[in-house]
Structure 1
Amino acid sequence: MAYEITEQKKIGLGLIGFGVFFSFLGVLLFFDRGLLALGNILWLAGVALLLGWGSTLKIFTNRSNYKGTLSFLLGLFFIFVRWPIVGIFLEIYGCIVLFGEFWPSVKVFLYQIPVFGWILQYPVMLLDRLRS
């Protein structure tokens, strides 16, 4: 790989994975507020460990990302005050705005995972063959 994954980054990836899992489970269980809050806390801690505390703070306080930061924090607030459906939609929008520039890097990283990368690339390869 082009970059090194330290133990701290591995823990960050694990926390992000658990955060996404608990959030998904909270949505499946009819927007359970406790699971959604736990998923958000784990996800935020994982992002902070993966990127570093300073980089995370820069991303959330960057002038061009204020709309995403505000919508994400407002979504977190709505989850805590028992409006989880509105909160989840605001958080999803905030994540897309905040981390939109990282999607190409995430795609390259996911394609390099041995089995999972092939599963992700297979529909693209199939469409390329059908076009030819």
Structure 2
Amino acid sequence: MFTDQQKIGVMLSAMGAFFSFLGVLLFLDRGLLAIGNLLFLSGVVLILGVQKTTKFFLQKKKIKGTICFFLGILILILTRWTFIGLGIETFGFINLFGDAFPIVISVLRKLPIIGTILNHPTVNRWLSKTEAGSELPF
């Protein structure tokens, strides 16, 4: 189903998400956030390929998200303004990958422990509103 290159890409992306999460937990550690960004981006390139990744990031409707995402990474790494860079990067990430959130949520609902939490009536009601787009301001 997946090629070896795509399997490595999924692993790199997962490690990137883990390092980013760890960087946030450790009071916005700039080094861990930078490593997480690099791993995530290299994983996306390995999953999609160079041409499809370029096409994805340069879509006309996603150009605002692309600019914010990469500008946030640059601010995070070069100027050491971790909080501002992470905020801009998060805005870009949501604009770029926001279309995939309903798919991710439906997959997570099928997992044993996380699925139980996501299928709780209160959480389910909130996720249903979010999936409809009523609470996303952008």
TM over 0.5: yes
Give the fraction of aligned pairs with identical amino acids, expressed as a percent: 43
1:9 aligned to which of 6, 10, 26: 6
TM-score (norm 2): 0.77
1:28 aligned to which of 8, 25, 32: 25
Give CA-to-partner distance per residue, 1:46-94, whole Å, 9 cap, x none.
1111222222111111111111011001100111120011111111110
> In the superposition, relative to structure 1, how do residues 125 and 75 fare at CA in structure 2: closer, same or farther (>3 Å)?
closer
TM-score (norm 1): 0.80
Structure 1 counterpart of 2:45: 48
Structure 2 counterpart of 1:75: 72
Which runs of no fewer than 5 residues in structure 2 stay unpaired? 126-138
Give, in whole Å, the separation in 2 of the partners of 1:28 and 1:49.
Answer: 27
SS in 2 for 1:99: helix
Which is greater in Rg?
A: 1
Structure 1 counterpart of 2:107: 109
> In the superposition, relative to structure 1, how do residues 36 and 126 fare at CA in structure 2: closer, same or farther (>3 Å)?
closer
1:89 aligned to which of 84, 87, 90: 87
| Superposition CA RMSD, Å | 2.3
Which runs of no fewer than 5 residues in structure 1 stay unpaired? none
The residue identity in structure 2 corresponding to 1:90 is I
SS in 1 for 2:67: helix
